[in-house]
């Protein structure tokens, strides 16, 4: 198993910045400002990576645009988590033949998790000749070099060889939202849940040094960020690969000590490593949001074992109970998979009963999708598709009514919310637990924490009004 981490040295990063300058010069000598379009699929980790891709593009003189039409560079930052996600990308990638025909010279890149799969890379080589470059997440820091090569050479560029997972500090970054920032604290995953492609495409778990994370958080807060979301596939195992003697709870506590009025969120927690220490730290610290995304995947201990999750139903429930006891206002969300190979009706019912017992605020629900190369893809799967769809619908129904009930219980209560944006005529805000609230108010409130009284609710969101009219 590859465990080596490649920390990209400063001189190699400087070389990349030189490539940015060279690209800038190419366009400058033509007297043109080139346009770049970046499309992001998948999870927050990809969102965070896309901010670096945009950073590199802007550093190279590109202006960002929101359509591939007329763009000089198109980057598809892809997700491989389910077959459907990949099909969407292949469909949209096919459509780019037209934009490229209409704009000769358009350079098209595919990166992200799909680029970490050999079968995908081969398919791009053979069937998508209009794609100019492919690079896996390990090679993201070399995007400027890859782009430069496609601009100056005739060959397509593939940076997809299976290398040690990289960590690169100090790449340029263009953040989507100055108020709410993603902060990756670690990359990759060691867990090898039997259904999951992530460890194969993102490599082994590797943590950024705490000094780098703290410095980034400090700068973000100084620049006006009000919410930091720490990202990792399994944040609870942060630091295990470092020699700093610091675990995730310690890191949280250190970030919370940064002066300023802000909230810390994090995802994703793996139930196996979600410790009492973590819940105690959350409970004790007002800057850590009382929000927990704790995927359970299945309510059946047999299925959990087959998934290689390393906890059973009982342990999961005990941890959730402890967390709820420590934090009575805790907002809990989770991921669940329906129709894992061999899941029986009775095992599915255990999933339903777990949902009813825990009562999540909301759930991300998925039907099992076999991922080539993962152990679950070759497990016996006798349950017909229609039956899985039926289970899925039933699960959604159960969850929707729980979400609706919980949201209804918010009505009349007042929450401190971050006003974070605008949606048509409304302001949008988030409670500390991360629930969406729509309210009327002046746009100059965006970026401030305000007390909001909840006046209405539905399954997915809340409406409210400002407590004090300011």
Enumerate binding residues for ligand SF4 (CB under 6 A).
189, 191-193, 196, 198-199, 233-234, 270
Q: Toward ligand SAH, which CB reaches closer, 114 or 337?
A: 337
Looking at 41, 182, 248, 368, which residue binds ligand SAH (CB under 6 A)? Answer: 368
Residues 6+ apart with CB under 8 A from 292: 269, 274, 282, 323, 330, 331, 332, 333
In angstroms, the first-to-last Cα distance of the chain is 58
Q: Which does 45 bind (CB under 5 to 8 A by kind): ligand SAH, ligand F3S, ligand SF4, none?
A: ligand F3S
Q: What are phi and psi of 426, to 5 degrees?
A: -105, 155
Let me know: does 85 contact 41? Beta carbons within 8 Å. yes
Q: Quick check: 42 binds ligand F3S (CB under 6 A)?
A: yes
Q: Quick check: 360 binds ligand SAH (CB under 6 A)?
A: no
Q: Which does 334 bind (CB under 5 to 8 A by kind): ligand SAH, ligand F3S, ligand SF4, none?
A: none
Beta-bridge mates of residue 110: 76, 134
Q: Cis peptide before 91, with omega less than 30 degrees from 0?
A: no
Q: Toward ligand F3S, which CB reaches closer, 364 or 460?
A: 364
What is the C-alpha to C-alpha distance for residues 438 and 450, in angstroms, rounded to an integer?
13
CA 46 to chain centre: 6
Q: Quick check: 113 binds ligand F3S (CB under 6 A)?
A: yes
Q: Quick check: 311 binds ligand SAH (CB under 6 A)?
A: no
Q: Toward ligand SF4, which CB reaches closer, 167 or 263?
A: 167
Beta-bridge mates of residue 466: 452
How far lies 97's CA from each of 35, 128, 132, in Å? 18, 9, 12
CB of 42 to ligand SAH, least distance (A): 9
Q: Quick check: 45 binds ligand F3S (CB under 6 A)?
A: yes
CB of 143 to ligand F3S, least distance (A): 17
Q: Which does 337 bind (CB under 5 to 8 A by kind): ligand SF4, ligand F3S, ligand SAH, none?
A: ligand SAH
What crossing angle do the helices spanning 44-59 and 143-152 adopt, rounded to 10°?
50
CB of 168 to ligand F3S, least distance (A): 17
CB of 31 to ligand F3S, least distance (A): 38
Position with the least CB separation from ligand F3S: 42
Q: Quick check: 250 binds ligand SAH (CB under 6 A)?
A: no
CB of 193 to ligand SF4, least distance (A): 3
Total Cβ atoms within 10 A of residue 41: 21
Q: Toward ligand SF4, which CB reaches closer, 229 or 431?
A: 229
Question: CA neighbours within 13 Å on the CB side: how many for 116?
Answer: 25
Looking at 35, 38, 53, 79, which residue binds ligand F3S (CB under 6 A)? Answer: 79
Asked whether the CA dihedral 392, 393, 399, 400 is positive or negative, the reply is positive
Q: Toward ligand SF4, which CB reaches closer, 270 or 290?
A: 270
What is the C-alpha to C-alpha distance for residues 254 and 449, in angstroms, rounded to an integer?
22
Q: Toward ligand F3S, which CB reaches closer, 262 or 340?
A: 340
What is the C-alpha to C-alpha distance for residues 270 and 293, in angstroms, rounded to an integer?
9
What is the C-alpha to C-alpha distance for residues 190 and 192, in angstroms, rounded to an integer?
6
Q: Which pair of structure tokens corresponds to residue 334?
A: 């989770």
Q: Quick check: 199 binds ligand F3S (CB under 6 A)?
A: no
Q: How many chain residues bind ligand SAH (CB under 6 A)?
A: 16
CB of 267 to ligand F3S, least distance (A): 11
Q: Quick check: 198 binds ligand F3S (CB under 6 A)?
A: yes
Q: Quick check: 270 binds ligand SAH (CB under 6 A)?
A: yes
Q: Toward ligand SF4, which CB reaches closer, 196 or 217?
A: 196
Beta-bridge mates of residue 291: 331
Question: CA neighbours within 13 Å on the CB side: how many for 295?
Answer: 21
What is the C-alpha to C-alpha distance for residues 242 and 254, in angstroms, rounded to an integer?
17
Stretch near ligand SAH under the rule CB under 6 A, chosen from 144-152, 154-162, 366-374, 438-446? 366-374
Q: Toward ligand SF4, which CB reaches closer, 379 or 445?
A: 379
Let me know: does 385 contact 358? Beta carbons within 8 Å. no
CB of 6 to ligand SAH, least distance (A): 22
How far lies 269's CA from each of 111, 139, 232, 272, 344, in Å? 26, 26, 8, 9, 27
Q: Could you tell me how many residues make up the chain?
A: 470
Q: Quick check: 369 binds ligand SAH (CB under 6 A)?
A: yes
Which SS3 state, helix, strand or coil, does residue 379 take? coil
Q: Quick check: 75 binds ligand F3S (CB under 6 A)?
A: no
Which residues in this chain contact ligand F3S in the complex, by CB under 6 A? 42-43, 45-46, 79-81, 112-113, 197-198, 202
Which residues in this chain contact ligand SAH in the complex, by CB under 6 A? 81-82, 195-196, 233-234, 268, 270, 295, 297, 335, 337, 366, 368-369, 371
């Amino acid at each position: 198993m590859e465990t080596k981490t490649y920390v990209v040295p400063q001189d190699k990063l400087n070389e990349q910045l030189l490539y940015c300058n060279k690209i800038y010069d190419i366009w400058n000598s033509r007297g043109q400002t080139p346009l770049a379009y970046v499309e992001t699929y998948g999870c927050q980790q990809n969102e965070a990576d896309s901010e670096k891709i945009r950073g590199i593009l802007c550093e190279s003189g590109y202006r960002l645009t929101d359509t591939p039409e007329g763009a000089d560079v198109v980057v598809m930052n892809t997700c491989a988590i389910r077959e459907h996600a990949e099909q969407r990308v292949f469909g949209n990638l096919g459509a780019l033949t037209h934009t490229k025909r209409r704009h000769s010279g358009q350079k098209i890149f595919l990166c992200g998790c799909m680029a970490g799969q050999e079968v995908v890379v081969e398919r791009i080589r053979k069937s998508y000749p209009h794609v100019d470059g492919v690079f896996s997440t390990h090679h993201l820091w070399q995007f400027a070099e890859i782009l430069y090569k496609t601009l100056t050479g005739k060959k397509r560029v593939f940076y997809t060889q299976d290398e040690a997972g990289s960590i690169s500090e100090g790449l340029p970054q263009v953040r989507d939202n100055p108020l709410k920032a993603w902060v990756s604290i670690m990359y990759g995953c060691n867990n090898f849940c039997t259904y999951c492609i992530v460890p194969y495409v993102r490599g082994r778990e590797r943590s950024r040094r705490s000094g780098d994370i703290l410095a980034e958080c400090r700068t973000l807060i100084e620049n006006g960020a009000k919410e930091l979301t720490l990202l990792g596939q399994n944040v609870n195992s942060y630091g295990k690969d470092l020699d700093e003697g610091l675990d995730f709870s310690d890191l949280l506590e250190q970030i919370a000590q940064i002066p300023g009025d802000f909230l810390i969120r994090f995802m994703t927690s793996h139930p196996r490593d979600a410790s009492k220490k973590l819940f105690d730290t959350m409970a004790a610290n007002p800057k850590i949001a009382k929000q927990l995304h704790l995927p359970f995947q299945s309510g059946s201990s047999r299925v959990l074992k087959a998934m290689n999750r390393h906890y059973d139903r009982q342990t999961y429930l005990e941890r959730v109970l402890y967390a709820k006891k420590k934090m009575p206002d805790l907002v809990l969300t989770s991921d669940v998979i329906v129709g894992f190979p061999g899941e029986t009706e009775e095992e599915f019912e255990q999933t339903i009963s777990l949902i009813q017992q825990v009562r999540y605020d909301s759930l991300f629900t998925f039907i099992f999708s076999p991922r080539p190369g993962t152990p679950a893809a070759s497990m016996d799967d006798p349950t017909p598709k229609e039956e899985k769809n039926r289970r899925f619908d039933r699960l959604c129904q159960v969850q929707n009514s729980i979400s609706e009930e919980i949201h209804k219980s918010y009505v009349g209560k007042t929450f401190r919310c971050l006003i974070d944006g605008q949606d048509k005529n409304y302001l949008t805000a988030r409670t500390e637990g991360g629930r969406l609230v729509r309210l009327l108010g002046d746009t100059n409130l965006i970026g401030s924490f305000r007390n909001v009284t909840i006046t209405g609710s539905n399954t997915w969101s809340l409406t409210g009004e400002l407590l004090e009219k300011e």
